[in-house]
Structure 1
Amino acid sequence: MSLSRRAAFTVAGGLAATAGLAACSDSAPAAAPTAATGTGAPAQQGGPGRGQVTIVGHRGASGYRPEHTASSYSLAARMGADAVDVDLCSTKDRQLVARHEPEIGGTTDVARHPEFASRRRTVVIDGTSYDGWFTTDFTLAELKTLRAVERIPATRPHNTLYDGRDPILTLDEILDLLAGLSRQLGRRVGILPEVKHSTWHASVGLPIEPVFVDVLRRRGLADDPQVIVQSFEVANLRALKTQIGCPLLQLIDSTPKAPADFVAARDPRTYDDLVSARGLQEVATYATWIGPSKERVIPPTGTPTTLAGDARAAGLKTMPYTFRNENEFLPPRLQRPNPERSTYGDAFGEYAQYRALGIEGLFSDNADTAIAAWS
């Protein structure tokens, strides 16, 4: 039996619990922000009844709302996510904003603003050419005139209902939002900030790390165990290890890619080298977690690799990315026959395999489904 997105939303656990749904809101909580504080109450890792797995709302609840918005983060927290994933890019005036990539043509309504038409250009970032508009060409005040839109509307047409409702958020605004949610929910909602394209940002004179460290220190979060800092690069995580006490997560891209800082330094190693026995031991000298693409843990064939066990042997926890309910993001054997791109496949079947491996965390666009799978 194939499930439409709406049917699966109900049958597969949907928005976690009816009580949680009643509390959901598309706006930030009314609690007043406190810039000098963290995100609230002590953590409840793993949540009730699901062991020690950490479930992270990937860019919030991006399966249901445009990503990296107050609506998306709030919904993920109310669903029960332990933390939210926040990608950080720099503005022209050195402010940190939440966008998946510096290119914002696909995630905002910038193309509808004629006053910014002349800023469209082509930029090569980490070897990939992007045509569009870039956060580094805008001041924060200019970005605040834009609104977020759904990044993959063909797959998530329902999310387009929320296009234009949310502004771009700064890191400080997100921390204020999470602090308010933590107080409202009576539990800590953590954050996994990702430093995006570190080498590229530095090359254009807008390095992210100094501003990021300053924000953490100012807010008393520089040693917070519920702030897990991520990067696909290595050198910046090694440097951050000497500046902050937060746990670090080394993201691991798919084969045959390599960290951008390795490429820039003409280091021949790739991500494959990072997941070798020796590579994992090196990662463990600075990081607490690895965040591999989920296919590195269980390939589409369904036969698990040894990565989760190898990481554990090296003293690392594993948090694979990204779990999504739609057919196109599931291995063929777990897809359900239906021509609609928004159709859900057997997401529970996929989660069951990773649960059997004892992974310690995961990133999901559908935190409610992940929680149901572990409950």
Structure 2
Amino acid sequence: MRAILAVLGLLLAGGAALAGEGVQLGPRPFYLVDQLKPGPLKEHLAACGIDRPYTPRTFSISHRGAPLMFPEHTREGLLAAYRMGAGIIECDVAFTKDRQLVCRHSQCDLHTTTDILARPNLAAKCTTGFEPADPATGRKASAKCCTSDLTLAEFKSLNGKMDAADPDATNVAAYMNATPHWRTDLYASTGTLMSHKEYIALVKGMGRKFTPELKAPQVPMPFEGTYTQDQYAQQLIDEYKQAGIPASDVYPQSFQLRDILYWLEKDPEFGRQAIYLDDRDETTKGFDPEKPEIWKPGMAELAAKGVKILAPPLWMLVRPGPEGTIEPSTYAREAKKAGLDLIAWSLERSGPLKEGGGYYYQSIKPVVTGDGDILRLLDVLHGQVGVLGVFSDWPATTTFYANCVGAP
């Protein structure tokens, strides 16, 4: 009996045997169905939700864990994504001062995503320390703390928090206490930060697939004169090889085309599943997803370079259709015509949609009226655009939809 209890204790402490847990969706997907306007989609999804099991789906891609309600890129958030049936789970990858890879959305976001500013000994190492707001001059509060300011051990000593900062704060406590009202701190009492290797081990134990994003460095490269961009890109792939992860289970991502081309040349098995993240709407003046003549490079050129998967923000793949409908954009149609697969980002990141949905819904704002349109958009992305999957800040929503329509 003592031996059995000892083994059970190890399993509970280490979170082992994760691959056997069932999918749990909670109430949100069903709330969204309730918000849909009457019609065939609502009828289908409502009928699907009655007394049935749900299984993990690769269509459902965890974006930074489950940051709608959990601190992003934390062990707790990844476990939540796993339990909600995300078939692919993300780690945005940055590097530390001692050149170890860690999960963080940006190399320099520790001041908004962790408690570093409340740790004076570590806050002193930030690139730029906390500067309070000055109402008299209009100066906003600021700080800049980077993964490359800390060693891996120092990074691991931090606690993750909900990503937020108050630009009008006059002290550190107020600056850190700024979670948007439509999110929550209910699950933020612990936020365990992870190295990339720890993420690999955790997701491997879950039996799910991996999508690491090589984040663009926010320090001059080569870092400290010797650590190059190519070494950084290679280190990411090497950590999967060292862990015995097959390339077929890994979808490396980058906003930098040079990284995709590097993987295609140096590690083609991994490069073939690389995801080219497209943010030209923010980096190219005048970019328009309805005007293919101004896209540089164009879809055919990307395909000719070996790019297989293209991932733009949600709004670039859709436009308003007739009579208040949503339809595929020219961008989506041209990508498919060129033979490119598509992935969209990021669902459940916009808060309540009654005001139109902000950045991610900008192209369809005239036809967005409420939260049920999350599922209406998802239905167009799957049924008409034909995306491979959708990143979501709350994977239960994408898992529910994928199960109901038979998406993989």
TM-score (norm 1): 0.73
- Distance in 2 between residues matched to 1:18 and 1:176, nearest whole Å: 34
Contact 1:147 1:163 in 2 (8 A): no
- 1:175 corresponds in structure 2 to 200
- Distance in 1 between residues matched to 2:211 and 2:51, nearest whole Å: 27
* SS of structure 2 residue aligned to 1:320: strand
- Distance in 2 between residues matched to 1:151 and 1:60, nearest whole Å: 13
Is 1:294 aligned to 2:331, yes or no?
Answer: no
Higher mean displacement: 297-306 or 268-277 = 268-277
- 1:348 corresponds in structure 2 to 375
Contact 2:94 2:217 in 1 (8 A): no
Deviation at 1:360, TM superposition (A): 2.0
Q: Deviations over 1:53-96 (max 9, x none)?
A: 72211112222311111111112122111101210000000111
Gaps of 5+ in 2: 1-25, 35-48, 130-141, 165-178
Is 1:120 aligned to 2:126, yes or no?
Answer: yes
- 2:115 corresponds in structure 1 to 109
Contact 2:90 2:213 in 1 (8 A): yes
Is 1:249 aligned to 2:284, yes or no?
Answer: no
Aligned pair in 2 of structure 1 residues 217, 294: CA closer, same or farther (>3 Å)?
same
Is 1:73 aligned to 2:98, yes or no?
Answer: no
- Distance in 1 between residues matched to 2:163 and 2:75, nearest whole Å: 16
Is 1:279 aligned to 2:303, yes or no?
Answer: no
Is 1:137 aligned to 2:149, yes or no?
Answer: yes
Gaps of 5+ in 1: 1-5, 22-43, 48-52, 124-129, 183-188, 259-267, 337-343
- Residue pairs, 1:197-208, within 5 angstroms: 197-198=216-217, 200=219, 202-205=221-224, 206=227, 207=229, 208=232
Alpha carbon RMSD of aligned pairs, Å?
A: 3.3
Contact 1:94 1:211 in 2 (8 A): no
- 1:359 corresponds in structure 2 to 387
Deviation at 1:359, TM superposition (A): 1.8
Higher mean displacement: 319-328 or 361-370 = 319-328
Aligned pair in 2 of structure 1 residues 145, 216: CA closer, same or farther (>3 Å)?
same
- Distance in 2 between residues matched to 1:231 and 1:275, nearest whole Å: 22
Aligned pair in 2 of structure 1 residues 230, 275: CA closer, same or farther (>3 Å)?
farther
- Distance in 2 between residues matched to 1:97 and 1:181, nearest whole Å: 19
Give the AA of the match of 2:205.
G
Contact 2:318 2:332 in 1 (8 A): no
- Distance in 2 between residues matched to 1:102 and 1:13, nearest whole Å: 37
When you count helix as a share of all residues, which structure comes out higher? Answer: 2
Deviation at 1:7, TM superposition (A): 7.2
Counterpart pick for 1:307 among 326, 331, 336: 331
- Distance in 1 between residues matched to 2:189 and 2:293, nearest whole Å: 40
- Distance in 1 between residues matched to 2:262 and 2:288, nearest whole Å: 19
- Distance in 2 between residues matched to 1:225 and 1:323, nearest whole Å: 25
* SS of structure 2 residue aligned to 1:213: helix
Q: Deviations over 1:10-68 (max 9, x none)?
A: 52379x999989xxxxxxxxxxxxxxxxxxxxxx9x83xxxxx7221111222231111
- 2:253 corresponds in structure 1 to 230
Contact 1:69 1:167 in 2 (8 A): yes
Contact 1:254 1:296 in 2 (8 A): no
Contact 1:198 1:233 in 2 (8 A): no
TM-score (norm 2): 0.67
Aligned pair in 2 of structure 1 residues 315, 277: CA closer, same or farther (>3 Å)?
farther
Contact 1:109 1:164 in 2 (8 A): no
Q: Deviations over 1:254-273 (max 9, x none)?
A: 42515xxxxxxxxx998978
Contact 1:293 1:321 in 2 (8 A): yes
Larger CA Rg, structure 1 vs 2: 2
Give the AA of the match of 2:395.
A
Deviation at 1:156, TM superposition (A): 4.2
